[in-house]
Amino acid sequence: MSDIVDIKSELAELRKKIRKYSKQYYDANASDISDYDFDMLMQRLKAIEAEYPELITKNSPTQKVGGSAQREVGVLVRHDVPMLSLQDVFSEEEIRSFVAGILSHFPTAEFVVEEKIDGLSLALRYENGALARAITRGDGTVQGEDVTLNARAISDVVEQLHEHIPYFEVRGEVYMERAAFAEVNERQELLGLKPFANPRNCAAGTLRQLDARVTRERRLSMFVFNLQRAEGRTFSSHTEAYDFMRAQGIKIISNYRVCHTADEVWNAITEIGVRRGDLPYDIDGAVVKVNDFAERTELGATAKAPRWAIAYKYPPEEKETVLRAIELSVGRTGRITPTAVFDPVQLCGTRVERATLHNQDYIDSLDIRIGDTILVYKSGEIIPRVKAVIKEKRPQTAEPYLIGDRCPVCHSHAVRESDTADIKCQNPACPAQVENHILNFVSRNAMDIKGFGESAVIGLTHEGYLHDIADIYALHLHREELIASGIIGREKSVDNRLAAIEASKANTPDRLLTGLGISGIGRAAAISLMQAFPSIDALQEIAITGPERILDVPDMGEISVQKLTEFFASESGKALLDKFRAAGVNFESAPIVRAGTALAGKSFVITGTLPTLSREECAALITAHGGVVKGSVSKKTDYLVAGEAAGSKLQKAEDLGIPVLDEAMLRGMIGADGKDII
């Protein structure tokens, strides 16, 4: 009995993780793990479900194609042909088994091997030779998003075929070349915005932009890799369809190879793997397809993937190099982070010479020493990591590395916090802490002050204009000096930044509370606190005189309350708030307009994209009718309000048996209970 309980527990944890990381991937957010690690989680889930088929549920990630359609760019469109995902394999043995299985049914079958572009799937529909509609994969089987306007802004998308074929639908991959990606991130930094994690995320987010001009500016590209459906002309094979597409001006994956045996297929996969680092774009594998369409039809598909194609995923590329130094940096909280500096190597087409070493425990676990030969790879082919030390190549003079007990920036005392791996500088005035604190303060998640990227903040700090986060509101006193020095640009640039600072004074106080950088008080906690208290002054008074009352606020725990109390009671905290008050920064929450009591005593969590309300508007509607909005789902949650792309919160609510509402159902609960303020 205990074995099956353990299996069920592992299944639940695997499914939870896979849903979380899958949502990050399909919603174009930066993933917390590499593609390879995600694949390994999925392989483990498949293995357990194969052994225990009675434990398979209809909501398991193995039973679904992938992402969900969203409503950011327009209407949802039904698929004429399902845009299925491919079965992933990771070994030569699996490839040979796939080929052998096909040849057992069709001894003369041909296989096409081509690059698997790392991007976002898009279907293009042509009617009488003209581009009629472009549709994302969405849920893969039923519907996707109409992104036609944005697709027209992609130079590789042909709007008019040479031949006026009645209906012609193709599927391809929208991607971003590395050079275009670098330009976008450089522009993000100049605008003080968060850079994209990788080209795929940037391409996916760009395709869902409401403004097609942004799509054009970011220089997206597209390869077509499959014929979905055609009317008015027949095709017998994949390569014949490719020839027709090429003649019509459609950009196809040209680096393909036609194979007849398992040896030829594996050699083609190996060749793609060898040259993938030289490509101007990212690939995450190679695809093997049956060439003949009649054979494809006979082979058919499962609910999730075609039986006539398979995707081989390459293991992370690894290179040996020599560790020359370990540099230490200091973050906003004083945390000291070590970074490996090594002889440059080429990984996945880019030059790499640095990788984080996280903390002392990580260094100790690898026993990494300056002068060591190390094995470096890219996590998810994006983030450089140190995998191992080649100890047989270690110099005799190499010594164990210790971060030490002194801050590398201000040389103040540094202490390892109990029960953590973090070593932190104890000097709150440390310049490195100030810089990172200010970057957090001006970020989109906090005060959202445009135009203050890392270079601007470092320049202003080093020149003595910024000593703490409140000093940003005194920059207008130095306008002429700033223009003359050019630290943050010339006159127009300086004035734009000063205007953004002035406008931020009117922000809601939850943004200011987020920007204070109090440990454990992120945006969600700040919103909950400012819904519970009328002002930051009121919160400060309660934190000092009766902090236990803050525990009644949703999602607030004892440690967070302790950190709040420490900040508000400290002389430095009080002085900082005084500077904000003097500058005219808003401390007051807008009064809650009570429109009724239909939701009184009920707690709600909001997730996903609602049809007509933003999350903030939905929260205001719930609060106006007496309800309480929380940041996370728990057994105490009464209702989950869910929209498109709801993700893990929806799954957790279903697992806990919590009622799930859509926007219409929420409005129905309110009914005629007072005036709807939204």
Please write the tens of the pLDDT for every residue from 589-609.
877 666 778 888 888 888 877
376-397: average pLDDT: 84
Instruction: Report d(CA 85, CA 96) in Å as an integer.
Output: 20
Q: Can you say which residues are annotated as belonging to the binding site? A: 35-39, 85-86, 114, 137, 173, 289, 313, 407, 410, 425, 430
For residues 292 and 377, state if they share a domain. no
Does the pLDDT at position 671 exceed 80? Answer: no
Lowest mean pLDDT among 141-145, 147-151, 336-340: 141-145
Residue that is last in its domain, among 390, 416, 442: 416
Task: Mark residue 306 as left, alpha or beta (left: phi above 0; alpha: psi -120 to 50; beta: remaining).
Answer: beta
Whether residue 525 is contained in a domain is answered as yes
User: Structural domain tally of the chain?
Assistant: 6
Q: What pTM does this model have?
A: 0.53
Mean pLDDT across 479-501:
92
Q: Could you tell me if 140 and 15 lie in one domain?
A: no
Q: Is the pLDDT of residue 73 over 60?
A: no
Residue 31 has pLDDT above 60, yes or no: no
Feature table: binding site for Zn(2+): 407, 410, 425, 430
Q: CB under 8 Å to 534, separation ≥6 — which residues? A: 588, 589, 591
31 and 126 together in one domain: no
Pair (191, 298) in one structural domain: yes
Structure tokens at 608: 């996903």
pLDDT tens, position by position, 183-213: 887 777 655 556 676 788 788 878 876 667 7
Query: Do residue 26 and residue 142 come from a single domain?
Result: no
Q: Which of 109-113, 131-135, 387-391, 491-495 is predicted most confidently? A: 109-113
Q: Report if residue 556 sits inside a domain.
A: yes
pLDDT of residue 27: 47
Is residue 484 located within the same domain as residue 520? Answer: no
Residues 6+ apart with CB under 8 A from 340: 323, 325, 326, 354, 355, 356, 357, 368, 374, 386
Give the pLDDT band (50/70/90) at residue 366.
very high
User: Looking at 312, 341, 362, which one is the last position of a domain?
Assistant: 312
Whether residue 596 lies inside any domain: the answer is: no
The yes-or-no verdict on residue 304 having pLDDT over 90 is: no
Instruction: Tell whether the model's pLDDT for residue 7 goes beyond 70.
Output: yes
Residues 446 and 374 in one domain: no
Distance CA 289, CA 113 (A): 7
Q: Does 628 have pLDDT greater than 60?
A: yes
Does residue 344 lie within any of the structural domains? yes
Domain containing residue 476: CATH number: 1.10.150.20
| Residue range(s) defining the domain that contains residue 619 | 603-670
Cβ pair 448, 463 in contact under 8 A:
no
Q: Are residues 195 and 294 in the same domain?
A: yes
The position carrying tokens 């079958």 is 109
**Average pLDDT, stretch 24-48?**
65
pLDDT score for 63: 65
Flag whether pLDDT at 382 surpasses 80: no
Please state, as a whole number, how many other Cβ atoms lie within 10 Å of the Cβ of residue 405. 12
Cα(19)–Cα(516) distance, integer angstroms: 32
- 498 vs 351, more confident: 498
* pLDDT value of position 678: 41
Which pLDDT band holds residue 68 (cuts at 50, 70, 90)? very low
Residue 594 lies in a domain: no
Residues 91, 52: one domain? no
Residue 151 lies in a domain: yes
**Is the per-residue pLDDT at 338 higher than 80?**
yes
Look at residues 549, 583, 617 and tell me which one is the last residue of a structural domain. Answer: 583
Would you state the pLDDT for residue 193?
57
Report the alpha-carbon angle 340-21-382, nearest 5: 30
How much of the chain exceeds pLDDT 70, in percent?
A: 89
Give the range among 8-22, 281-295, 531-545, 574-588 with minimum mean pLDDT. Answer: 8-22
Residue 11: give its domain's CATH number.
1.10.287.610
Those residues with Cβ within 8 angstroms of residue 413's Cβ, 6 or more apart along the chain or in another chain: 405, 406, 407, 425, 426, 427
**Annotated binding residues for NAD(+):** 35-39, 85-86, 114, 137, 173, 289, 313
Nearest to 67 by CA among 144, 126, 176, 165: 144
Residue 674 has pLDDT above 50, yes or no: no
- Please tell me whether residues 34 and 151 are part of one structural domain: no
Q: How high is the pLDDT of residue 102?
A: 97
Residues 131, 22 share a domain: no
Is residue 116 flagged as an active site residue?
yes
Mean of the per-residue pLDDT values for the chain?
A: 85
678: in domain: no
pLDDT at position 662: 84
Q: In the predicted model, what is the mean pLDDT of residues 72-99?
A: 85
Question: Sorting pLDDT into bands at 50, 70 and 90, what band is 1?
Answer: very low
Element (H, E) at 561: helix 558-569
Pair (161, 239) in one structural domain: yes
Which has more confidence, 628 or 548?
A: 548
Distance CA 623, CA 366 (A): 51
Give the active site residue among 23, 64, 116, 424: 116
Per-residue pLDDT for 675 more than 50?
no
Average pLDDT value for residue range 58-86? 67
In a domain, 402, yes or no: yes
> What's the sign of the alpha-carbon dihedral 595, 598, 603, 609?
negative
